[in-house]
Amino acid sequence: MSNAIVIFGSTTGVAEDVANRIASKIGTTAISVSDLNADVIAANDVLILGSSTWGYGDLQDDWYDGVELLKTSKLTGKRVAVFGCGDSSSYSDTFCDAMSIIARAAVDAGATLVGSVSTDGYTFDSSASAVDGRFVGLAIDEVNENDKTDGRIASWVATLGL
């Protein structure tokens, strides 16, 4: 079994709650991205990275330093899965965009991205995180679709091979 950790950026607690639910499902811990450092990266084969999306497609504030750390890390040989929290009604044209920023930084640093999710069953207009009918990771809408969150987490975690 691979060493895995869940790393989140959360302002209102929603992404933190989702991170803790994911960590519980896979039997690991969740930490804030403000606690992310080179030692954490080195100690884990699988990084599960999550952020809420703010404004019009922006990262949660703590993730800006986290993305810079990812960009300067050697992630070759590591698997990265991403999840994002967003509001598919009020921000339908930037739904979970933050996932794409984190995923791009990880892939550019050599990581293998895992855990894409079909956009089927989601209601949104546009997302930088959706390519060819798939999100780069798990999209969560706790505002409008919180009744689907537990099922989506369970299905997604099962695809990660942990």
Instruction: Measure the CA–CA gap between 125 and 41, rounded to whole angstroms.
Output: 34
Instruction: Measure the CA–CA gap between 48 and 41, rounded to whole angstroms.
Output: 11
What does the block give as tokens for 117?
């999710």
Residue 161 has what pLDDT?
85
Instruction: Measure the CA–CA gap between 42 and 8, rounded to whole angstroms.
Output: 17
The pLDDT tens digits for 84-130 are 999 998 989 999 999 999 999 999 999 999 999 999 999 999 999 99
Q: What is the mean pLDDT of residues 20-32?
A: 96
pTM for the complete prediction?
0.94
Please say if the pLDDT value at position 1 is more than 50: no
Please name the residue ranges forming H helices in 10-88. 14-26, 38-43, 63-72
Share of the chain above pLDDT 70, in %: 99
The pLDDT tens digits for 117-143 are 999 999 999 999 999 999 999 999 999
Residue 8 near residue 51, CB atoms below 8 Å: yes
